[in-house]
Amino acid sequence: MPDKFFTKYPNSTLLSKKIKHYLLAIIIVSVTALLCIPLSNTQSYYVVSFILLFVVSFLATIKGIGPVLVAATLSALVWNFFFIPPHYTFHIEKAEDILMFGMFFIIAFLNGILTTRVRRQEQLAREREKRTNALFQLTKELSKANGIEEATKVATDNIKLYFKLEAYIVLQNGENVLQPFKQIKEDKTLNEREYEIAMHAFEKLEMAGQFSGISSAHEKTFYPMKGTRLNPGVIVVKQNDELDEVQKILWDTFLTQISNALEREFLGELAQKVRFLDESDRLYRTLFNSISHELRIPVSTIMGASDTIISSNSSKDVQSELCHEIFTASLRLNRLIENLLNMSRLESGHFSVRLDWYDMNDLINKITKDLSEELSAYHFKVVIDDEMPLVRIDFGLIEQVLYNLLINSTQYAPDSTEIALSAKHENENLIIEITDEGPGFPETELKNVFMKFFKVNSRKAGGLGLGLSIVKGFIEAHNGTIDVSNRENGGAKFTIQIPSEKPEIKKQEDTIHE
Amino acid sequence: MNENEKILIIDDELQIRRLLEITLSASGYKIIQSVNGKEALVDAATHNPSLIILDLGLPDIDGQDILKKLREWFTKPIIILSVRDSEDEIINALDNGANDYLTKPFRSGELLARIRAAIRSIENTSDTATLSFESITIDLQSHTVKKNNELLKLTATEFSILSLLAKNRGRVLTHQYILKEIWGHGYSNQTQYLRVFVAQLRKKIEDNPSKPTLLITESGIGYRFAE
């Protein structure tokens, strides 16, 4: 990473650094001249001129234009003074030597200027490349960021990396108002006065704080982020020096990129909210429609049947039959209410699983008794493993699970077929299977069976399509799983697995009474 | 039948009170009705009913508080009839002294059976040394249990559980209550012990242990000895 990119030195050190460059140039030229003194007596002072030219070009590749010009001038003078005869004077005798001296001077100058220019251009290109890389990196990371929070982090991280500045981003709250001060106060990053400046920058969309026209006495600078459809917020940085031209360009590009990314995230969130509302609206309507249907049918039965009993002199037999209908309708209503309550318990998340040790026999007895009427038309078979240990479950929830599954079977399976319930304990798991000999589920629909409001045409009327999704919810609340499959010879099969260790029971002293 | 049994119905819903009045009158009970907690406390004191049916969701005082107040002096059965169906609520009510708990909607047949059982349990609390139910006879003095006149081999714990439930015949005893009574306070969460002993007991006293008729499970709440 470009560590020294944009590194700045305070002015005093910068000055001494410059002086050092000049001194170094002078020293190098002087040392070269000294080393060439053995050649001064011969006629080979031309060689010395080449050596000096070489040194000047060499200096040009590593030093700035100033030191190089000094080196060029110095080497010309040194060459003249020490090497061109007569020695130790600036006087030149031969006309060709005057020509040589002039040419040496020009070549050294041009050489120095051209080389430094090339080097400077190369340096600029390198800086440009670093800037491009920085920008590329920022854009890449911003596009990968998922959500406002992540994008904000990417932005502050990159600002820190390339500008060596601690940045803090104050976002708007999603309704084009800056997030309230109370939220920021907890971070202790901004004080109230700074928040006011940020607010100003956000509302007026102009830079504020240090190095700006507004509240410039402040030590932090506030840059508003501008978007095309909404303005995401304000970037606050504490910078020691004003950014120079080149940095300013990069900073503005950073700002634009960050603004765009955050704007995108804000808009995305907004769109998601709208989608969510649409979805819940749709669910609400489905629920409302099917509830009114589900309520009307039994209520109509109750109204019609009781009205007949009250107003007509129907026979005892008819009356008793009608009463039976009323009773059935009330059971159906009760089931509906039960499912709605359970669904809302699940949806609200405000329900707890109360695990305790239970005897599966008790549970299945209870279910069998409660459903005796519904199951009377079927061959209901129960198989509980003889070695069945106690299981750790929420009795009420699992009761509801089995109740819903068995009711489901009675709704689809034809009369006089077998509905079987089995329970066993295997590998620290309670395994319950419920099978029927009904039509099963269409293969393509198997994956949707546990979805809310899922219904296939039932042999008997009724149901909101909530029963099985409640089953799944309750089983998952036990950290268990439920699977559905079609049996080979027709019918559906539900398999429940609930983790349940065997109970720890210490042997107790107990005497037998005779 | 039931000529002298007065039942106090405490419920703010007119329709429920009507239904109860019709159903219970048809079975020969005399009915008194209260529509709120304050009235109920007065009615209970003035009429001294044989049994109280109490709704928990009353407009003025919470049913659980009325239950506690009543239990300061009222010793006859109280049956809770409420829409509140959470296990916590039920266990609370039983701990506060309710004999039984039925959730609305309820089947009237079920309610009548519970009422009969509750009243009978009061009649049976005379300190008899032996309790008998169908084929089972429990001798509390000699700590013996006979089934069809044959002596059963019960362990001390099994006998304690059986006699505790039998003495409270018809009444739901919560798991915590039974565990505390038999094993002491430290065990009130160790339901697994209770389950194991109940399973053993059933094997000895029930005709068909997998379909018990004497030792009845009240789902998630506790146990009840058959009416």
Count of Cβ atoms closer than 10 Å to residue A339 Cβ: 21
Residues of B in contact with A351 (CB under 8 A): none
Tell me, yes or no, whether A156 and A198 share the same domain.
Answer: yes
Which of A323, A328, A357 has the most B C-beta neighbours within 10 Å, making it the best mutation to test the interface with B?
A: A357
Best probe of the A interface among B154, B219, B221, by most A CBs < 10 A, is B219
Whether A365 sits inside 8 A of B217 (CB atoms) is yes
pTM score above 0.80: no
Which residues does chain A have within 8 Å of residue B91's beta carbon, measured at their own beta carbons?
Answer: none
Residue A306, amino acid: S
Burial class of residue A65 in the structure, from the number of CB atoms within 10 Å of its CB (0-12 exposed, 13-18 middle, 19+ buried): middle
Segments forming the whole domain that contains residue A321:
275-347
pLDDT band at B50 (very low <50, low <70, confident <90, very high): very high
Q: In the listed set A274, A294, A327, which residue is the last one of a domain according to the structure?
A: A274
**What residues in A contact B109, CB-CB < 8 Å?**
none
Q: What are the start-end ranges of the H helices in A6-93?
A: 11-36, 45-62, 65-78
Which H or E element spans position A159? helix A148-163
Instruction: Nearest by CB to B155, from A330, A362, A512: name it.
Output: A512
Å from A401 to nearest chain B CA?
14
Who contacts B128 (Cβ-Cβ below 8 Å, separation ≥6)? B140
**Binning pLDDT at 50, 70 and 90, where does residue A5 land?**
very low
Are A17 and A9 in contact by the 8 Å Cβ rule? The answer is yes
Location of each CATH 3.40.50.2300 domain in chain B: 6-123
Residue A504 lies in a domain: no
- In chain A, residues 309-368 whose CB comes closer than 8 Å to chain B: 330, 334, 354, 356-359, 361-363, 365-366
Residues A258 and A156 occupy one common structural domain: yes
Has residue A164 been placed in a domain?
yes
Considering only the beta carbons, identify the residue of B105, B143, B211 that sits closest to A334. Answer: B105
Residue A480 and residue A359 in one domain? yes
Distance CA A390, CA B194 (A): 11
Indicate where chain B has its CATH 1.10.10.10 domain(s).
130-225
- Give B43 to chain A, closest Cα distance, Å: 33
pLDDT over 70 at B182, yes or no: yes
Asked if residue B3 has pLDDT above 70, the reply is no
Rg (CA), chain A: 45
Q: Are residues A57 and A186 in the same domain?
A: no
Q: What is the pLDDT of residue A3?
A: 41
Same domain, A177 and A247: yes
Minimum CA–CA partner of A382 in chain B: B210
In contact, A492 and A440? CB cutoff 8 Å: yes
Tell me: the pLDDT tens digits for B93-103?
999 999 999 98
CATH of B6-123, one of 3.20.20.140, 3.40.50.280, 3.40.50.2300, 1.50.10.10: 3.40.50.2300
Under 8 Å between Cβ of A345 and A394: no
Paired sense of beta strands A391-393 and B150-151, if any: unpaired
Check which CATH number belongs to the domain holding A381 and give it. 3.30.565.10
The most confident of the ranges A225-229, A430-434, B202-206 is A430-434
A464: CB partners within 8 A, 6+ apart: A287, A290, A291, A294, A336, A339, A340, A453
B15 Cβ under 8 Å from any chain A Cβ: no
Q: Phi and psi dihedrals of A179, rounded to 5?
A: -60, 145
Q: Which of A334, A365, A510 sits opposite B156 (nearest CB)?
A: A510
Taking an 8 Å cut-off on Cβ atoms, the answer to whether B159 and A365 are in contact is: no
Identify all chain A residues contacting B147, using CB atoms and an 8 Å cutoff.
none
Contact B196 A505 (CB under 8 A): yes
CATH class assigned to B130-225: mainly alpha
CATH of the domain at A216: 3.30.450.40
Predicted confidence at residue A2, as pLDDT, reads 42
The predicted structure's pLDDT at residue A459: 55
In a domain, A511, yes or no: no
Q: Specify the pLDDT at position A143.
A: 87
State the nearest Cα–Cα gap between B220 and chain A, in angstroms. 6
Residue B162: exposed, middle, or buried by beta-carbon count in 10 A (0-12, 13-18, 19+)? buried
Q: By the CB < 8 Å criterion, does B45 face chain A?
A: no
CB contact under 8 A, A508 and B220: no
Integer Cα distance of B188 and B177 in angstroms: 8
- Which residues, at least 6 apart from A311, have a Cβ–Cβ distance to it below 8 Å? none
B144 contact residues in A (CB cutoff 8 A):
513
Rounded to the nearest integer, the mean pLDDT of chain A is 83
Report how far residue A87's alpha carbon sits from residue B207's, in angstroms, rounded to the nearest whole number. Answer: 137
**Which residues lie below 8 Å from residue A216, measured CB to CB, with a gap of 6+?**
A209, A210
User: What average pLDDT does the segment A139-160 reach?
Assistant: 88
pLDDT of residue B101: 92
Domains of chain A: total: 4
Interface residue B120 vs chain A (CB under 8 A): no
Q: Are residues B159 and A513, on separate chains, in Cβ contact within 8 Å?
A: yes
| The two three-digit tokens of residue B181, written as one number | 């009574």
**Least-confidence region, from A287-301, A397-411, B145-159:** A287-301
Q: Do residues A399 and A340 both lie within one domain?
A: no
Rounded average pLDDT over B88-114: 90
A108 vs A476: CA distance, rounded Å:
85
**B102 torsion bin: left (phi>0), alpha (psi -120 to 50), beta (else):** beta
A510: nearest CB among B105, B151, B155: B155
ipTM higher than the 0.90 cut: no
Query: Over A336-375, what HEC string results?
Result: HHHHHHHHHHHHHCCCCCCCEEECHHHHHHHHHHHCHHHH
Cβ of A514 within 8 Å of Cβ of B151? The answer is yes
- Regarding predicted confidence, which is higher, B190 or A399? A399
Q: What is the pLDDT of residue B212?
A: 87
CB B138 within 8 A of CB B147: no
Cβ–Cβ contact B175 with A under 8 A: yes
* C-alpha–C-alpha distance, residues B147 and B136, integer Å: 5
Cβ contact, residue pair A390, B156, below 8 Å: no
Comparing B166 with B53, the larger pLDDT belongs to B53
What is the pLDDT, as a whole number, of residue A461? 53
* pLDDT recorded at residue A8: 44
Higher pLDDT, A411 or B69: B69
Q: pLDDT digit string (tens) for A255-296?
A: 898 999 988 888 888 888 888 888 778 777 777 777 787 788
CA-based nearest distance B107→chain A, Å: 10
Confidence class for position A403, pLDDT limits 50, 70, 90: very high
Quick one: A39 and A108 in the same domain? yes
**What is the DSSP pairing of strand A167-171 with strand A208-209?**
unpaired
Q: For residue B153, which residues of chain A lie inside 8 Å, CB to CB?
A: 512-514
Per DSSP bridges, beta strands B100-103 and B130-133 are unpaired
| Residue A186 confidence class, pLDDT cut points 50, 70, 90 | low
According to the model, what pLDDT value does residue B78 have? Answer: 94
Q: Specify whether A417 is located in the same domain as A466.
A: yes
- For residue A365, the chain B residues in CB contact (below 8 A) are 210-212, 217
Calculate how close chain A gets to B66, using CA atoms only, in Å. 27
pLDDT digits (tens, 9 = 90+) for A333-361: 888 888 888 888 888 877 788 888 898 98
- How far apart (Å, rounded) are the C-alpha atoms in residues A116 and A64? 6
Q: Coil, strand or helix: which one is B158?
A: helix
Q: Does the residue A128 lie in any domain?
A: yes
Half-sphere exposure of B95 (CA within 13 A, CB side): 12
| Token pair listed for A18 | 């410059």
Of A89, A122, A139, which closes a domain? A139
Radius of gyration, alpha carbons of chain B: 18
Say if residue A112 is in the same domain as residue A129: yes
Q: Is residue A506 part of a domain?
A: no
What is the rounded CA–CA span in Å between residue A49 and residue B208?
123
Instruction: Return contacts of B132-138, CB within 8 angstroms, 24+ apart.
Output: B133/B166, B133/B169, B133/B214, B133/B225, B133/B226, B134/B214, B135/B207, B136/B205, B136/B214, B138/B162, B138/B163, B138/B166
Question: DSSP label at A178?
Answer: B
Looking at residue A317, which CATH number applies to its domain? Answer: 1.10.287.130
Say whether A512 and B219 touch across the interface (CB within 8 A): no
Instruction: Let me know whether A231 and A286 are in one domain.
Output: no
Tell me what pLDDT residue A425 has: 93
Which residue has tokens 């019709």? B22
Are A450 and A497 contacting, i.e. CB atoms less than 8 angstroms apart? Answer: no
Query: Of A252, A274, A296, which one is at a domain's C-terminal end?
Result: A274
pLDDT average, residue stretch A247-255: 87
Chain A residues inside the 8 Å CB shell of B159: 513
Q: Both A489 and A372 in a single domain?
A: yes
Look at residue A507 and tell me if it is in a domain: no
**Mean pLDDT calculated for residue range B169-187:** 86
Determine, yes or no, domain membership for A262. Answer: yes
Partners of B175 on chain A (C-beta within 8 Å) are: 356
- Closest to B220 (Cβ–Cβ): which among A395, A503, A513? A395
Considering the domain architecture, whether residues A480 and A465 belong to the same structural domain is answered as yes
**Can you name the residues that pair with A418 across neighbouring β-strands?**
A379
The first and second tokens of residue A290, run together, are: 């099917």
User: What pLDDT is stored for residue A458 in this prediction?
Assistant: 59
The pLDDT of residue B2: 56
Residue A42 pLDDT > 70: no
Q: Residue A498 above 90 pLDDT? A: yes
Q: Which residues of B touch A390 (CB under 8 A)?
A: 192, 195-196
CA-based nearest residue to A219, from A205, A240, A247: A240
Please report the residues numbered 55 through 74 in chain B whose beta carbons come closer than 8 angstroms to any beta carbon of chain A: none
Nearest to A357 among B157, B192, B217 (CB): B192
**Nearest-CB residue to B154 (from A358, A384, A513):** A513
Contact between B77 and B121 (Cβ < 8 Å): yes
